[in-house]
Structure formats: C-alpha cells, structure tokens
C-alpha cells in the first residue's frame, strides 16, 4: 500500500498524468470484462464437473490403484519392463546432471542399486547411489475398461434398463396426454371456478409427496397393485401439476385466432388441439416429456416402496443402490455402475437439448 502511494505521489510530482480505469478505452474494458467472466465461468465449471471427473477416473481404476496413495489421480499403474525373463519395476531416478529418468530396478541395495534403461536394455546396467525405497515409482496410464463389463453383468443391467425404460416411457406417454388435455381446457375454455381450479392445482406443487404416501400405499395395496409397475405408471395418466402449468403457459402464448380459424374450417376442439395447437407446442411437449422421463429415471423412493419385494421389476435407481450395498468395498465397480446409469439420460439430453431449452425458454418455467 505504501509503495502504491509512493508511486502515485512520484507520478503526480513528475507532472505525468495518472490514468484511471474509467479512462480506459471502451473496447479494452469489454475485453477485460469478457475475460473476467470467462475465467469465473471456467472456474465454476471446473468445480461443478470435478465430482464427475473423479467418478470417471475411479471407474477406470483397479482396487490396487485406488489404495495406492502415491498414484496420480488418473488411472495409472506402476510401470514395469521385462528383462531376462523378469518383470522389473520402474522408478523415477535423479541423474547426476540434474535430470530425471525412468529406470528399471535390477538389483536393489542399501547404499547403491543397479538399474537398466528400459529404452536400451542391451546397454550396461547403471549404478545409482542412494536408497531406492525413497524413489517414486514411475506410473503409466492404464485404464481398466473391464470394470464396466463387470458392473454390467453384476447389476444385470439389461433387466434394470428394460424396467426403467418401461416405467419412464409409459409414464411419460400418460402425463403428456393428461397434462395436454387439462392445460388445453384451462387455457382455451371458459368454465365455472376456472381460476380456483387452477390455483388449487398449482398449490399441489408445494405438497410433499410423502404426505400422501401412506393413503396411496394403502389404496394400491387394497387393489393389489403393490409389487407391480401400476402404482408408478397409472397415476401419471391423471396429469401432473408441474406439467399442466408449463403447458398452460405455453398454450396462452399461442393466439386464439388459430382456434377461430380452425372453427371456421369446421374443426372441433379436439381437432383444433391435434392439428393446430400441438404442432405449435412441440418444444413445450418435448420439454415436458424429458422432464418426466428424467424424473422417473432418477426416482428412487416410490419404486423402492412398491417394488421392494420384486427385484426383477426394479428400475436402475433401486438396482444401483442394491449394487452399491453388495459391492461397497469396490468403489471402482460402484462408479462404473453409476456411469452406466448416467449414460442414457446424458445421451437423450444431448440430442434433445435444443428443443428442450427452447420449450423452457418459451414457457418461462423451469421445474
């Protein structure tokens, strides 16, 4: 602080004009601001994605790699080289000229050891003075992709995938049909207590589903649905407050002149919905569909409640938790299984992200 003050005083005494940040050219200020925003965004992205990077690195390691505290963060195994029928370990050896080389330990000793150069095995062994135990092993990149096949087989992943796609897909169809019809009625037609019905519907969003768990479980148990997919699929054919709200907001953005033009051409309400409004609402429908698909894909609690006795019907979320319990001492298999469960939603979002984000943007709602 004192040096800065003295610099300013020296400039003032020398008569040189001091330049403030506000006097900087507008183009330079924009470049500096863009650079600062980029740096902050990059830092946030690195922090946000670091758990995913750790998951990917762990999934490619062996149990020995994870337990090796000197190993790097990426999948790497201590290097070895074959020499006269033996496997020699590689170490990072400091040479007299100050450089470091990876040498294979041929004959360990307390004060001096003999090494061979892995790049020139025909050369004479090299004597190095020092304690070889203090040397760092030379690691080589060695990803273990077999972890994924092992997790696939142990989890019975095809059965879990079939169950998850069936539950999520059928529920998505149901919620799209029901939510579209309800949103169409609330956005296009006059009815008694329309505003009250909409407020009550939206108010159910803040109602925790745990509140209704006991009565709904008692009902489904009474009618014999426990132990089947029906409690996870059929309720979605009666609409969802989130999805109804989103679709209603989107339908309100469409001009009613479209309905009037269709009516003049003789189209009824359902024909107008099918031929006029739904083609215009494709981004919102895709957004609602993906919302529900991801919700059902990641849902753990309700499948656990209703399918706890039917392992052959459980989805990936429950199957992954069972797998974690059975293999809790094998974190590399757990992370490989988690990445397998994560892969399909990521692929779906990657291909549908443009329509998905457009639907959210036009409706002004995020779930």
Long-range contacts of 98-105 (CB under 8 A, 24+ apart): 102/138, 103/128, 104/80, 105/132
Q: State how far the Cα of 121 lies from the Cα of 125, in Å rounded to an integer.
A: 9
Backbone φ and ψ for 210, nearest 5 degrees, come out as: -70, -25
Name the phi and psi angles at 96, rounded to 5.
Answer: -60, -30
| Residue whose tokens read 């040096």 | 3
The DSSP letter of residue 178 is H
Residue 240 in contact with residue 179, Cβ under 8 Å? yes
CA angle 56, 60, 66 (to 5 degrees): 100
Compute the distance between CA of residue 118 and CA of residue 30 in angstroms, rounded to an integer.
Answer: 53
pTM of the model: 0.75
Per-residue pLDDT of the chain (367 residues; tens, 9 = 90+): 455 555 556 655 555 555 666 666 777 888 888 999 999 999 999 999 999 999 999 999 998 899 888 888 899 998 888 988 888 999 998 888 888 888 999 888 888 889 998 888 888 888 888 888 888 889 989 999 999 999 999 989 999 999 999 999 999 999 999 999 999 999 988 888 888 998 998 888 888 878 888 999 999 999 999 999 999 999 999 888 888 998 998 899 888 888 888 888 888 889 999 999 999 888 888 888 888 888 899 899 999 999 988 889 999 999 999 998 888 888 999 999 999 988 888 888 788 777 767 666 655 554 4
């Amino acid at each position: 602080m004192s040096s800065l003050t003295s610099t300013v005083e020296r400039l003032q005494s020398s008569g040189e004009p001091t330049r403030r940040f506000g006097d900087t050219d507008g183009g330079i200020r924009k470049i500096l601001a863009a650079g600062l925003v980029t740096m902050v965004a990059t830092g946030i992205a690195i922090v946000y994605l670091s758990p995913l990077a750790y998951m990917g690195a762990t999934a490619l390691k062996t149990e020995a790699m994870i337990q090796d505290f000197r190993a790097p963060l990426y999948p790497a195994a201590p290097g070895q080289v074959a020499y006269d029928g033996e496997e020699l370990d590689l170490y990072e050896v400091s040479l007299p000229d100050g450089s470091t080389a990876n040498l294979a330990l041929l004959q360990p000793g307390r004060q001096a050891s003999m090494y061979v150069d892995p790049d020139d095995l025909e050369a004479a062994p090299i004597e190095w003075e020092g304690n070889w135990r203090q040397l760092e092993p030379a690691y080589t990149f060695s990803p273990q992709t077999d972890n994924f096949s092992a997790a696939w087989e142990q989890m019975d992943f095809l059965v879990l995938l079939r169950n998850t796609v069936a539950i999520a897909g059928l529920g998505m169809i149901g919620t799209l049909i029901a939510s579209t019809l309800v949103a169409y009625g609330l956005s296009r037609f006059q009815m008694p207590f329309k505003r009250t019905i909409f407020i009550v519907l939206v108010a159910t969003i803040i109602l925790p589903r745990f509140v209704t768990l006991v009565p709904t479980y008692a009902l489904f148990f009474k009618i014999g649905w426990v132990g089947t997919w029906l409690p996870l699929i059929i309720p979605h054919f009666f609409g969802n407050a989130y999805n109804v709200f989103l679709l209603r907001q989107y339908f309100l953005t469409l001009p009613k002149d479209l309905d009037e033009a269709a009516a003049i051409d003789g189209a009824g309400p359902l024909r107008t919905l099918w031929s006029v409004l739904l083609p215009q609402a494709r981004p919102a429908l895709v957004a609602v569909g993906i919302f529900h698909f991801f919700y059902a894909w990641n849902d753990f609690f309700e499948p656990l409640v209703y399918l706890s006795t039917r392992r052959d019907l459980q989805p990936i979320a429950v199957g992954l938790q069972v797998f974690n319990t059975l293999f809790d001492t094998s974190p590399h298999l757990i992370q490989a299984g988690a990445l397998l469960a994560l892969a399909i939603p990521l692929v779906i979002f990657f291909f549908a992200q443009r329509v998905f984000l457009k639907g959210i943007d036009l409706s002004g709602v995020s779930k």
